[in-house]
Amino acid sequence: MNPRDRFLRCNRFQSVDHAPFVEIALWGQTIERWHAEGMPRDVDTYFYINGNEYFGFERWEYIQINTLMVPEFEYQTLEEDERTVVFKGTDGVVHRALKEGKVGGTRMSMDQYISFPVTDRTSFLEMKKRYNPHSSIRYPRYWDDLVRCYRRRDYPLALTSIGQFGFYSMLRRWMGTEKACTIFYDDPKLVEEMLDFLTEFFIELSTRTLNDVEVDWYNYFEDFAFKTGPLIGPNIYKKFLLPRYQRINKHLRKHGVDIISLDSDGNIEVLLPLIIEAGFTQICPMEQAAGMDAVKIRKKYGKALSFSGSIDKRELAKGKQEIEKELLRQLPFLLESGGYIPTVDHTIPPDVSYENFLYYLDIKRKVLEGRYGA
């Protein structure tokens, strides 16, 4: 069974030889630690795309369609001292960031966000100018050559890169988390206008891809929850987001995409009935620190949703016994019930040793292939 068949059959709750063997990603600081602990420096650590021969991960790919602003803002350093730098990023957001602790583009501490490019309707109308869906730069060069390769593939292919497009996530990029939560109350007409624009933009941008390529799945990037619940409640979701999700998901299904995933950290359990109603078929990454109990959710919702994730990254930082316990806590049931791709529940942090990660992969593979305890 090739990776594409395995991915499709798994997410459709059909029989597979074993669940896909994949992982998510690493902090830059984790990569630095693992190099010091013996991981070869020529190992590709971008796990989620193109697979990974060194670790034995299966190949998945994302079509590199750009859903973000074109053109970007010009990067500007605004202030700087010994400890911090204040800058305007290419997304138009003004940050204050610590200089120390940055490795491979990953900061140990979150930046302080000072201002965002969209504050009202006037600035939104200016932002719209950066979202022409027909801009040629949104598609990879030599698109026709890529299409020919995609048509011969044996690996799953997703529409757009991971972490790019979602409704709440786009509002947050433009306005910041606080305003992306309060605007639904403060200016509902503006948020309706923005969401309608994003819907039209995505449909226009994606139609060419969907006509040219048989796409296997699509992943909305939202991240609209925290440890104990979502940042927007069911009423807001139902009024503002549900009809737009349904419209795009109908568009995707019209073009043969029947695996539609919602990516959100935090606890989204209260939204699950609406997520299903919106047409989603998969959720990830099932963050354990936020109480996303995959076994409980599977028992409640059955085959309405497939899962990816759910392995507590914090347990990998402990000992071998804790790693085995975490895997055996849920994998046997979830793998038996189907529709489950086991990965850690977020980017692997630097408190996880290279030795522990290799041990985790060894035990996980044995469980997936039915060899654990043999």
Q: Residue 246 to residues 110, 147, 226, 237: CA-CA distances in angstroms?
A: 34, 27, 24, 12
User: Mean pLDDT throughout 276-284?
Assistant: 98
Model confidence band, residue 339 (pLDDT cutoffs 50, 70, 90): very high
Model confidence band, residue 51 (pLDDT cutoffs 50, 70, 90): confident
Whether this prediction's pTM lies above 0.85 is answered by: yes
Strands 217-221 and 157-159 come out as: parallel
Return the half-sphere exposure (C-beta side, CA atoms, 13 A cut-off) of residue 40.
Answer: 6
Q: What is the pLDDT of residue 291?
A: 97
Q: Are the C-beta atoms of 312 and 325 separated by less than 8 Å?
A: no
Compute CA 242 distance to the chain's CA centroid, rounded to the nearest angstrom. 19
Strand partners, 310: 343
For 23-39, how does the pLDDT look when each residue is reduced to its tens digit (9 = 90+)?
989 999 999 999 999 99
Which uninterrupted H or E stretch holds 343? Answer: strand 340-344
DSSP-derived letter for residue 241 is I
Give ∠ CA 264-266-268 in degrees, rounded to 5: 70
Model confidence band, residue 374 (pLDDT cutoffs 50, 70, 90): low
Return mean pLDDT, the chain: 95
All structural domains of the chain with their residue ranges: 23-57+285-374, 61-69+118-256+272-277, 74-116
State what percent of residues in the chain have pLDDT above 90: 91
User: Mean pLDDT throughout 135-144?
Assistant: 94
CA atoms of 276 and 297, how far apart (whole Å): 12
For 77-102, how does the pLDDT look when each residue is reduced to its tens digit (9 = 90+)?
999 999 999 999 999 999 999 988 77
Identify the residue whose tokens are 């529409």. 159
User: Omega before 350 cis (within 30°)?
Assistant: no
